[in-house]
Amino acid sequence: MCLVLKYNSFKNKLMSGSGGGGYVPPQKIKFDCDTGAIITIVSSINISILEKHKIGNILDVVIGDKGALLLEDGDGEIIGAILHSNTTDIIDCIKEGANYKAEILSINFPSCKVKIQRG
Residue 23: per-residue pLDDT: 74
Dihedrals φ, ψ of 59, to 5°? Answer: -120, 155
Which residue from 99, 59, 65 is spatially nearest to 79, judged by alpha carbons? 59
The confidence score (pLDDT) of residue 27 equals 61
Give me the pLDDT at residue 95, please: 97
Q: Cβ(94)–Cβ(36) under 8 Å?
A: no
Please list the rounded mean pLDDT of every run of 10 residues in the chain (119 residues): 46 54 68 94 96 97 97 97 95 97 95 96
Domains and CATH numbers, the chain: 27-118 (3.30.70.2330)
**Is-contact 68 114, C-beta < 8 A?**
no
What pLDDT, on the 0 to 100 scale, is given for residue 26? 64
Let me know: does 44 contact 81? Beta carbons within 8 Å. yes
Q: CA angle at residue 14 from 9 to 17, to 5 degrees? A: 115
